[in-house]
Amino acid sequence: MVARDAVGRQRQSCPAEGCGFTYYGDHSIGTGAIVQRGERVLLIERRRGERRWWQIPGGYVEVDEPIDEAVVREVMEETGVTARVTDVLGFRHSAGIQPERPVSNIYVVFRLEALSGEPRADGLESFDAGFFSPVEMEQLPEVSAMSRWAIERALRGSGFLREAEREGLHRPGFTLFGLP
C-alpha cells in the first residue's frame, strides 16, 4: 500500500497496475435497543475488569446482516427476550479520534416491542438483565449516559423514524427508516 491522492485526500492505495484498491478506513456499525414493556425498559449489566454499569442491550452489525435484524439478534443473545423493531430513536457518530484505534463508528438506537421471554444474562456480554421503571433505574449504581438519553426520548413517545416503503429499492439487505 502506498499513499496516493484519492477522492480529494491522501489514502492508502494498492500500487499494482490495474488493481485500483483504495483503503477508506475502518468503519463499524453498532446498535442499541430500547425494549419496552409499558413504562419499563430492558437493561443489561456490563462488566469490564472491576467496573460494572447498566446499559441498553446492543452490539455490532455483521457485514452481511440487515441492521434491523442485528438489533433483534443482539437483544435475544444478551437477554433471551424476543422483540420486534418499531422505530428508530436516533444515532450517534464517533469519529476516529483515538490514534491507537482510528475507527469511524455509527451507533443506531432502535425502539423495540418485547414479544416474549424473560430477561436473563448470557454470562459473556451481559451479567444481569431486567426490565426497570424510571424510578428503579435511579437505584442502579451506574446507567450509561447514552442509555439514559435514549430511554428518556423513548418514554416521551413521539418523533421517531419508522421503516419506510421500499418499493423500487431492489438491493438485498436494504433497510430504510424515515419520517412517517
Asked if residue 11 belongs to a domain, the reply is: no
| Residue type for position 135 | V
Q: What is the pLDDT along the chain (180 residues), one digit of tens a residue?
A: 898 887 778 888 898 988 888 887 778 899 999 999 999 999 999 999 999 999 999 999 998 899 999 999 999 999 999 999 999 999 988 876 666 656 788 999 999 999 999 999 999 999 999 999 999 999 999 999 999 999 999 998 877 888 776 666 666 667 778 876
Q: Which domain holds residue 79?
A: 26-178
Asked if residue 13 belongs to a domain, the reply is: no
Contacts of 94 (CB under 8 A, 6+ apart): 103, 104, 105, 107
Nearest alpha-carbon partner for 143 in 23, 55, 74, 81:
55
Contacts of 163 (CB under 8 A, 6+ apart): 68, 85, 87, 175, 176, 177
Asked if residue 21 belongs to a domain, the reply is: no
Asked if residue 14 belongs to a domain, the reply is: no
Q: How many domains is the chain built from?
A: 1
Asked if residue 1 belongs to a domain, the reply is: no
Put simply, whether the predicted model's pTM sits higher than 0.85 gets the answer no
45: CATH: 3.90.79.10
Residue with cell 421503571: 133
- How far apart CA 90 and CA 88 sit, in angstroms, is 6
